Amino acid sequence: MKLVIDNVLLPTGTHTLVIEEGKITQVIAESTDQDQIIHARQSDADSWNAAGLVYLPALADMHCHLDKHHTGERWIPLKPFQTLESHLAYEKKLLSELTQTVGERAKVLAEQMIDYGTTRIRTHVDVDPEVGLRNLEAILRVRDELCDYMDIEIVAFPQQGLIRSSSEQIVKEALALGADLVGGVDPAGLDGDMERSLQMMFDIATTADKGIDLHLHDGGETGLATLRRFAELTMEAGLQHRTAVSHAYCLGEQTESGVQPTLDVLKQAGVTLVSSVPIDRPMPRGSQVLDTGVNFMLGSDNIRDAWSPFGNGDMLQRASRMAERENWVSDDRLLGTYSWVSNGKLTPSVGDPADFMLVRALNAQHALASVPARTAVFKKGKRIR
């Protein structure tokens, strides 16, 4: 079925969008192409008047945990973080006391994210000998249920440490079951052996022909050394542009000149950096990452879980926080921030996937600054919210 949406505000003015078979087939400027618009409306098509709503590409959340949040549960008071090991045990205790199943909670959060215009996510899902594959099986079912609304990429994540929790075999089984990437966490700080932990990750990934997304909280020179070795192994394994490191706080702890060599090798290896834009600790400097040319994406990470009571899964809000933290106030910087939370374009072209949202704002810059409600969300050309 053809869909015609009139009066959509793009950066170049008000346009009519024509959508067929999940793709944008026409982008018609309303100021110059009235005959073409009239013809599109007269065809066998559904029509909708956007009344000047601003077009924004659908959003992507490249770091979340669908299996471990408390959304939809009672309010759960948290205790402050002390050590990673103790908090991992605390997290397991809280999760065991939740009333909803993993699948039920995952669907609640995923649908909330869809309401905010997110149609693509990467979720890390816990796997270890104790949890087994239960969480993964639940998330795989949710992925199937929501396939018309959201693309869900899954990382097999040994949260307790790949070596520390003896999770090598269970990660392999998770990949065989349907997980898309190999996960890991703090090869030095938690696993206690940076080289062995990284080698194990890459061995698993290359054997299964999968990518990698590593949680890295380790700071200082330990963190930087881990990043450099990760980049080297990425190139040795031929996994350029298929690996990522999440958090990488160490890149914000030292001077720009001190971390530049590490950023250079990350760019060479095609390693993506992913950040949740923390406000309580250093993070990779956005402008430096941008200037170096390292691919950089944002994610929610903790959303009402054992680690934080904050968060709602709104990636437009997260992008706004990134721009504010970096003091990006010029139009070009504000607009550039969208590339870190979306794979789409601010000005759609014929042939683009019809994955977008419409908001009440003056323009895309204003939307990033003000974070308006999402009036409509479209996936594959169908209105899903």
Tokens of 197: 């932990």
Give the model's pLDDT for residue 385.
94
Which residues, in sequence order, are bridge partners of residue 279? none
Give the model's pLDDT for residue 272.
99
46 and 7 inside one domain: yes
29 and 83 inside one domain: no
Task: Provide the domain limits for residue 266.
Answer: 59-339
The candidate with the shortest Cα–Cα distance to 258, out of 211, 224, 307, 301, is: 224
pLDDT tens by residue, 246-294: 999 999 999 999 999 999 999 999 999 999 999 989 999 999 999 999 9
32 and 172 inside one domain: no
| 89 vs 32, residue with greater confidence | 89
pLDDT tens by residue, 36-94: 666 666 667 789 999 999 999 999 999 999 999 999 899 999 998 888 889 888 988 99
* Distance of alpha carbon 58 from the chain centroid: 12
CB 382 within 8 A of CB 374: no
Give the model's pLDDT for residue 92.
87
Q: How many domains, in total, are found in the chain?
A: 2
42 and 86 inside one domain: no
Q: d(Cα 118, Cα 112) in Å, to the nearest integer?
A: 9
> pTM for the whole thing?
0.94
Could you say which DSSP state residue 347 is in? S
Q: d(Cα 171, Cα 194) in Å, to the nearest integer?
A: 18
Q: In this structure, what CATH number is given to the domain that contains residue 10?
A: 2.30.40.10
42 and 67 inside one domain: no
Q: d(Cα 140, Cα 104) in Å, to the nearest integer?
A: 12
Tokens of 291: 């200037």
Q: d(Cα 48, Cα 18) in Å, to the nearest integer?
A: 10
* Distance of alpha carbon 215 from the chain centroid: 14
Task: State percent of the chain over pLDDT 90.
Answer: 90
Provide the residue type at 108 as one letter.
Answer: V
Q: How many residues does the chain have?
A: 385
The candidate with the shortest Cα–Cα distance to 243, out of 65, 67, 122, 110, is: 122
pLDDT band at 33 (very low <50, low <70, confident <90, very high): low
Residues acting as catalytic residues:
247
81 and 187 inside one domain: yes
| Mean pLDDT to the nearest integer, 357-375 | 98
317 and 294 inside one domain: yes
217 and 159 inside one domain: yes
157 and 185 inside one domain: yes
